[in-house]
Amino acid sequence: MFDIIIIGAGAIGSFLARTLSQYESNVLVLEKENDVGNVTSMANSAIVHSGYDPVPGTKKARFNVEGNRMFPEICEELDVSFRQIGSLTVAIEEKQLSVLKELAERGKKNGVPTKMLTAEEVLAMEPNITKDVKGALLCPTAGIVNPFTLTAHAMENAIDNGVKLHLGEAVKAIKKINGGFQVDTDVATYEAKVVINAAGLYSEEIAKMVEPISWKINPRKGEYYVLDHFRPGFVNHVLFPLPSEKGKGILVTSTTSDNYLVGPSSEFVDEKDDFSTDPLTLKDVRAQASLMVPNIPFPEQIRVFSGLRATPSTHDFIIEPAKKNPNFINVAGIESPGLVSSPAIAKYVVEELVSAVFPLKKKANWNPSVRKYIKPSEMKDEEREAFVKAHPEYGEMVCNCEQVSVGEIKDVLSRSLPCLTIKAVKKRTRAGFGKCQGGFCQPKVLMLLAEHYGISPLEILYDKEGSNILLKESK
């Protein structure tokens, strides 16, 4: 019997695993996808929000602000790109200035430092913003993060500290048994004293396996444009319009890899696996973003994508034990600001909710760090020369656009966290994230995966089951 089973290996599941790995406990993570962070944690704005915006007193406000404070140290420990570039919430009409003042007030209540900027100050910081700007609210603690390695490294760290991860296993049923639960997946049956539901979009379905619930998770789609890294400094902060009931609005930001992100839209959809993009929605995203930043070079577009927010019917995060089962803990409805909140939520769940039902004792030898990921393209010339001399595989380039070498691919393939698919390699290393979108590197990555796992190239998947790239050998 496991002490704790975590269902779902998104940002929440991964940080729960990492946090629990600090304690003497036998933890299993079950994930239906064949990689961690493969659904909502992968397709979002990758913003470490400051926390000025959630309604004071809500869980969103609490965990956002707590999480934001945890990020610098966590990203340092987990070797994740994080830049605290600050955000600007931009007023483009006079009447919006009063709203900014309200937001500043809200920030103050949430304990978030903000500063009102005049139009001149905004334009000095962001020359590409509309000349119609009337002012902005600066939140210096906001930042951007690499969401892919954030989740992957949190889970890797958990595994290194003893957590077990089973990928590609979907939970089908949960039964109460003596002293805990029996969890049936499509592959095997497990038992655990405590179960934590971090199943994202499907947390409603998982929660209902244990007892009736009063809330729902409604998938809300956000569509984005990704632009190539055409020019550093096109925008220097996370730029938000004023928030509305639909969310934080269409933002324009750089990413930690110096791309630019424009989006998201916000629309409820019927299906929890509808990740399609729609040209009319994207056209609207473009039009709205252009009100704030008029000259976004959309010909630099290298991809469009959509993500689904796990929007709760309660309008706030659901972080509580099931009504009749204190050892079944729901962590559900973690929509924005979920990514930034995830370490703080994990801490709270473990220290307050798990500890109430399971005795937690800190390990003496917990290691907070993952193996450093080495990237020669970010080194100075002399350093790179010495490093590649000593490690020749880092001189053999795989991805031209993002400068990823065989050394980096073999690094991620040799870690404790499984890296099974072309997409998993892409998320860890950025091979295939550039403007040719894997046109040059995908065959090389595919062959390296086949070689590493000792299987036929025909078996290598792009992403989910069935997503094989190659059909058969040619005549």
Q: Is 267 in the site for other proteins (CB under 8 A)?
A: no
Q: Where are the beta strands (DSSP E) in 313-409?
A: 318-322, 325-332, 397-399, 404-405
Closer of 115 and 303 to other proteins (Cβ)? 303
d(CA 162, CA 21): 7
**Considering the rule CB under 8 A, would residue 278 count as an interface residue with other proteins?**
yes
Residues between 81 and 100 with contacts to other proteins, criterion CB under 8 A: none
Binding mask 406-425 for other proteins (x = CB under 8 A): x-------------------
What is the C-alpha to C-alpha distance for residues 142 and 47, in angstroms, rounded to an integer?
7
Other Cβ atoms within 10 Å of 462 Cβ, number? 18
Closest distance between other proteins and the C-beta of residue 288, in Å?
17
Quote the crossing angle between the two packed helices 406-413 and 442-453, to the nearest 10°.
Answer: 40
| CA–CA gap between residue 422 and residue 443 (Å, rounded) | 10
**Binding pattern for the stretch 366-405 against other proteins, x by CB under 8 A and - elsewhere:** ----------xx---x--xx-xxx--xxxxxx--xx-x-x
Assess 77 for contact with other proteins (CB under 8 A).
Answer: no
Q: Name which of 271 and 352 has its Cβ closer to other proteins.
A: 271
If the CB atoms of residues 211 and 273 are measured against other proteins, the closer one turns out to be 273
Q: Helix, strand, or coil here: 152?
A: helix
Instruction: Give whichever of 362 and 475 is closer to other proteins, judged by the CB atom.
Output: 475
CB of 279 to other proteins, least distance (A): 5
What gap in Å lies between CA 416 and CA 407, rounded to an integer?
16
Question: Does the protein bind other proteins through residue 288 (CB under 8 A)?
Answer: no
According to the binding rule CB under 8 A, does residue 279 interact with other proteins?
yes
Nearer to other proteins, 212 or 279 (CB): 279
Q: What is the DSSP letter of 333?
A: -
Is 166 noted as a catalytic residue in this protein? no
Q: Name the residue among 31, 49, 58 with its Cα closest to residue 206.
A: 31
Contacting residue, 187, 188, 287, 458, with other proteins by CB under 8 A: 458
Interacting residue with other proteins among 111, 140, 162, 443 (CB under 8 A): 443
Give kind and range of the element (H or E) at residue 99. Answer: helix 96-110
Among 49, 153, 229, 237, the active-site one is 49
461 counts as binding other proteins under rule CB under 8 A:
yes
Is residue 468 close enough to count as binding other proteins by CB under 8 A?
yes
Determine which residue in the list 275, 316, 360, 371 makes contact with other proteins, applying CB under 8 A: 275
H helices of 391-441, where?
406-413, 422-429
* Phi and psi torsions of 406, nearest 5°: -55, -35
180 sits near other proteins (criterion: CB under 8 A): no
Closer to other proteins by Cβ: residue 230 or 366? 230
Distances 193 to 18, 26, 472 between C-alpha atoms, Å: 18, 10, 46
Contact present, 64 and 109 (Cβ < 8 Å): no
Q: Is 8 left (phi over 0), alpha (psi -120 to 50) or beta?
A: left
Question: Please, what is the minimum distance in Å from the beta carbon of residue 39 to other proteins?
Answer: 12
Distance CA 224, CA 262 (A): 6
C-alpha dist (Å) from residue 172 to 37, 166, 218, 228, 278: 20, 15, 20, 41, 32
Q: Total binding residues for other proteins by CB under 8 A? A: 59
Query: How many Å is the Cα radius of gyration of the chain?
Result: 22
Does residue 447 touch other proteins according to CB under 8 A?
yes
- Return the active site residues: 49
Contact set with other proteins (CB under 8 A): 225-226, 273, 275-279, 282, 301-305, 376-377, 381, 384-385, 387-389, 392-397, 400-401, 403, 405-406, 435-440, 442-443, 447, 457-458, 461-475
